[in-house]
Amino acid sequence: MTMSQTTENYLVDLGKEVLALAEEAQQKAEMPANDFQRGRRAAFYEVLTLMKQQAQAFGLDEEAIALKGVNLESLL
């Protein structure tokens, strides 16, 4: 099965957008008394981890979801 260009673009954009939101939550979580952002950061970590796992399960390179070389543990 081959992916269409639209599908490829969607996966790359989704990976980039979710990662950007996670990085934003990471920055806000470091502010004092921001439990909501810490929870949000943890949720994004779970979503991005799932994206990486599913990509691997479907035989996709992490580059296909714009997460190649991304250290997700840095979000925690």
Q: Where are the domains of the chain?
A: 5-75
pLDDT of residue 29: 86
pLDDT band, very low/low/confident/very high, at 21 (cuts 50, 70, 90): very high
Whether the predicted pLDDT of 22 surpasses 70: yes
Separation between Cα atoms, residue 60 and residue 14, nearest integer Å: 14
What SS3 class is residue 68? Answer: coil
Instruction: State how far the alpha carbon of 59 is from the alpha carbons of 5, 12, 27, 55, 75, in Å.
Output: 17, 15, 32, 6, 25
Whether the predicted pLDDT of 3 surpasses 80: no
Separation between Cα atoms, residue 6 and residue 43, nearest integer Å: 27
For residue 51, the surrounding DSSP H or E stretch is helix 35-57
